[in-house]
Each structure stands twice: as structure tokens, then as C-alpha cells.
Amino acid sequence: MSIKNSSKVSIRGKPTLNNVRGNQINHTKTIITNVVSGAKERDEYDEFEYVKRGHIVTIKDVHSQELEDRESVSQGDGSWVSGRLLRKTKRRICTIELRSDRLSSHKFTAFIYEDDDARSFWEDDFRKFSRNTRTTDSLQLFGLNHSEIPMLIFHHELIPLEHSYKSSFWGDIYLAYLSRSKGCSPICLWMDSAGALYRGPVGPISHRGFTPAQETIIVPSSRKMLESDASFRFLSKFKSEALNEYVLEWARWQLETIRLNDLLPNVAGDLSSEDCHRFEWKTEYPYFEHVWQDTGRQFPMDLVGDLCFDTVYSSTRGAVARSPYINGQWMLWNMDPGGSSVGIGGNDSKILFLDELTRFEAKERTLKLEFWFESIEFERDWISQVPRFSDTLEMSETEERFFTIQPPSPGLRISQTSRQYDGLAAFFRLCDAKELPLIYLFLYPPPMCISELKHWLDGDIPTHFWSLDETGQSQMTEDELEEWGIPNFEPCLSPTDPDDSLRIVRLHSLPPHICKALRDWQIVQGYDPSTADYAQYMDCPEYEIVDEPWPELGKTSESHQTEGREDETEKEPVHESTWWEAIPGSGISAFGF
């Protein structure tokens, strides 16, 4: 056997050799593989830095909030209530640091969304804050993470303003205008480490109270401007009527509910049981509960009986000023079966009474009368001239506590023990309307002091009478009332309000530092605080200055039980009303059916 293309080959032993015949051809092939990457379309998320969770170090928790959306359900009367739960999640706000080769170790603020529906709320917040790059008012978004635990990451270390702001009278007013200029509530303001303020999500709820400003003033967004002196200097540059109105309104918000024990500690400490009017006041007269702290003694009617609803008092001097008129008016209401009130009174009462009561069905509605004390207007009026009270009577504003009485609304309702009464509609069906005489209801002035309120509710003083005479010269007798089916009325408190807490007499006191703030404000506005000029500028009536010391205990004044009615006739009504005075000089209001 020959081996092709070989020579001098030696094979020994017993080897095995396979000789494959044929042609062998070797080929070299070059294969080129091209990898083509498809270009991903950029979206809104790519405009911000993507931050991995592993690069985030949490430094501290700042605020946490449960978020939820509920279905709105219409009540059919234009109002809406919350219905079933649609979605919910928890949002934590933290201070963080970013640790990576690419990201510097700076502090940021992260919104972290956890639990159910986290992605849905994350997307809502992303849409809102991703558009804030063109404004300096709002938080600036830096980056995001849309993993299983989505996050939004903002520039700067941020904290809610509520965490650092110390409330003051002028700072609060400045804050109201700052919030209006930024278009948000104060609890939505956040502050960075440099003191700059931004609009952000709802932060911790404030218990300070807030009322919105009614005009826009462009104010600097700096934490330093919220300091009392800085706020006062800035605001004093403006002299608008709206700003002055807001100053009075915010001063009114500072009124404190206080008991007489705290206002007159020396007098209260000297009280003995002999000095006190003897009755079980907490059970018989619960509406006095907020006037006097229960110290195991009886209620001191001798002390508080003459406290009037139209008078300003001092903790050391007694009565110091009095309103020139009664702040309030009678209102007539229909109460439907559901308990809602339908007012048919006030300044247009005469027309409405004559027009509507022919269609009034007593079987479906309950007639009630209520005297509304305009407490807000009254408080605004006397607050506007507090510095004048102090100057005229040479009193120290730093030591005085001025206060007034906030009464409930006295009213009349159809008595539960009333004579047989089928409603005024039934009465009008008795004969043709042309032959029907007018029947007039005359109302005595409402109680204007605490002792008179007590006697009003006890039925010790007259409240009303019916007459066929327009002038009220003759009253209808019981027999006539029975014959005509006219209902009995009984005195009550706040007959149209189902909340018993509003049927309580309260004392409202103005803190001394607010009195000083109002004096300073009137001066920078160009008014002499010892005069009524500022009050007149604000369209407030000039109060009569009086100096009536506290009564001696044990000598109960009966002035409001006997002479009080005569005193009321000297007061002018607060509004021109279609209620007319029955007898000139009597102070008795009237309307006709």
C-alpha cells in the first residue's frame, strides 16, 4: 500500500491505518454580523434625572400624609358629599442624600409613595411638579424613580413653613398676603435652607386659624419677612381700605373665649355663697356654663346680671363703652320637616309676610321667630376704637383685658302646649281674602343683658302680643286669640339652629398685645388713636365712652328689668327695615298677616 504524497514513512508494530481516498478542499469564510440598535423615543420622564433606590440615603423624615380620592355624590340641592373610596396611598416626604460617582453628595427632598395606588398618585404629582421649571414660586423637580416604590426628588432640603414659623399678629397678616400671591394656603408653603419660600403639597395642619386676604399685594418670598417687625414695616407702606379691613378682621379672629373668673380673679376669689344668686344654674341654665367656671359655688348673678350685649367692658374698670344702637334684627323662619331653615324675614319681611303666609301650611312647616345679633359687625366696630377707650379713660393697654358678651339668638317658637292650631293657611281659608282683616304681631325688644335673658326665658317679661290695630294700641284677648286660632309663642334660644353649642353665652376678650398692635397701626395710617377718626374711616359708629365700675356684690341691679325697656327705645335700629315701630318711642317691632 502506498501512501500518496509521502516518502520515507516507516510503520512498526501492529498499527491501524485508515487511508481515505478522495479530494480534500479547505474553504475560509468571513461572516460579518451587524447589530442594529433601535432609537427609543424620548418622553417627559427623560427630562429629569433617573435615580436608583440604591443611590438614596434617607437622612430624616419630614412629613407623612395619607392620600385618598373619594367619589363625589350630589345631594340634589347643589351640595356634594364624599362617597365610596376610589384610591388611596401614603406619601412620605424625607430629606435625602444621593451617593454615586455621577451624583454629588448634596441634600435633596424626596416624595416616596407607598402602599396601594402609589403609582397613580405618583403620576398625578409628577404631572403637577414637572411643569414648575418656569416659575420660582413652586418646588423644582430634580429627578425621579418609577420602580415598585416610586419617588419624586426635588432640589434643596425643604421643610414645611409650619415647622419653623412662630406666629405673630403682623406675621400672620403678611403670611395671608404671601399665600394669596402664591395662590395657595399657608399650610402649602415650604422653605429651603436659605429661607426662600415655595408653593408645594399640603403640609402639617395648622391650629392657628386662617382667613384669606381679599386683595393681592406682591410680597417678598422670604422667611425673614415673616418676623413681626419686618412684616409691620412692609405692610405699613400700604394704605388700602381692603388691607385695613383685613387688619380689623384678623384682630377679631384673635378674640379669646374666656370665663369671668379669669378676667376678675380678685373678685371671683372673694365670692362667698351669700354673694351668689341661688339657683341650680348648671342644670336650669346651661347656656351660662361658659360665663363662669364651676368652682363649687353658685352662679354669681349679682355680678354678671347687668352684663349687656351692646357694651364693652374692662377687666379692671367695668363698662367702658357702649354701642349707639342695637346690632341685630328680627327674622321669621319656616322650618321644613327635614329641619332646614327657610328665611322669609329681615329687611324685606313686610312684603314676604303679606305675600307668602297665605300659602303657609302649618301641618308641613313650623313657624319660628329669631332675633339675630350681628356679633361680627359689633366686634369689628368696637375693636376699631380700642385705643380710644384706653386714652380717654387713661388705662394701660398692657394690663387691660377688654371683653364683650356674645349672646345666643333669642327667639320665639310655637308653644308645645299651644291652643288648637291648624296653621295660618287654614285660618285664611275661613273667608274670602278681601274680607279678611290684618292681624298684627308685635314684638318687644329682645333681651339685652344676661339677667334680662334669664327673665326672657323664664317668661317673666313680655315678649309679644297680637292686635287687630296697626298701632298696637289694643291687644287681642285670650278669647279672641282662641276664636281666631292664633298660636301661642314661647321664648327659646336659637330656634333655627340644631346645634346646642350655639345656644351658649360666651365672653370674648381681646388680648392686650392686639390692642397695642392696633394703636401702632392707626398711627402709621395717619390717624390719632385717641379719637374716633379711624373708626369713622372704616365706617364704624362712634361708641359712647362710659365709666361704670363693677357693681358691689349683693346689690343686684334691676335696671334692665324695669328701666331697660325705656333705655332700648333710645337706641336707633342698625338697618332701615320694613318692620315698623308700633307706637312711636316704644321700641316694639310689628308686622301684619
Q: What is the pLDDT of residue 412?
A: 83
Stretches in the chain below the pLDDT threshold 50: 272-273, 275-276, 278-279, 337, 339-365, 420-434, 554-580, 582, 584
**Rounded-to-integer distance, Cα 497 and Cα 501, Å:** 10
Four-point Cα dihedral 76, 82, 84, 85, nearest 10: 150
Distances (CA, A) of 156 to 222, 226, 428: 15, 21, 75
pLDDT tens per residue across span 411-461? 888 775 555 444 444 444 444 444 557 778 888 888 999 889 888 888 898
Q: What is the pLDDT of residue 16?
A: 66
Q: What is the pLDDT of residue 578?
A: 37
**Rounded-to-integer distance, Cα 96 and Cα 110, Å:** 7
pLDDT tens per residue across span 80-100? 778 888 899 999 999 999 987
Given 3.40.1350, 3.30.200, 3.40.50, 1.10.10, which CATH number is that of 47-72+81-154?
3.30.200
Strands 141-145 and 49-50: parallel
Q: What is the pLDDT of residue 21?
A: 59
Element (H, E) at 221: none
Report the first-to-last Cα separation within the chain, whole angstroms: 147
Distances (CA, A) of 372 to 185, 219, 225, 324, 343: 32, 39, 41, 17, 12
Domain ranges of the chain: 47-72+81-154, 162-238
Q: Which residues contact 235 (CB under 8 A, 6 or more apart)?
A: 170, 173, 174, 177, 243
Q: Where does residue 61 fall: left (phi above 0), alpha (psi -120 to 50 degrees), or beta otherwise?
A: beta
**Rounded-to-integer distance, Cα 542 and Cα 468, Å:** 39
pLDDT tens per residue across span 357-382? 222 233 334 567 778 888 899 999 99
Provide the whole-model pTM: 0.77
Q: What is the pLDDT of residue 427?
A: 47
Q: Are 477 and 373 in contact (CB under 8 A)?
A: no
Query: Where are any strands of DSSP class E within 194-262?
Result: 197-199, 256-257
**Rounded-to-integer distance, Cα 347 and Cα 354, Å:** 14
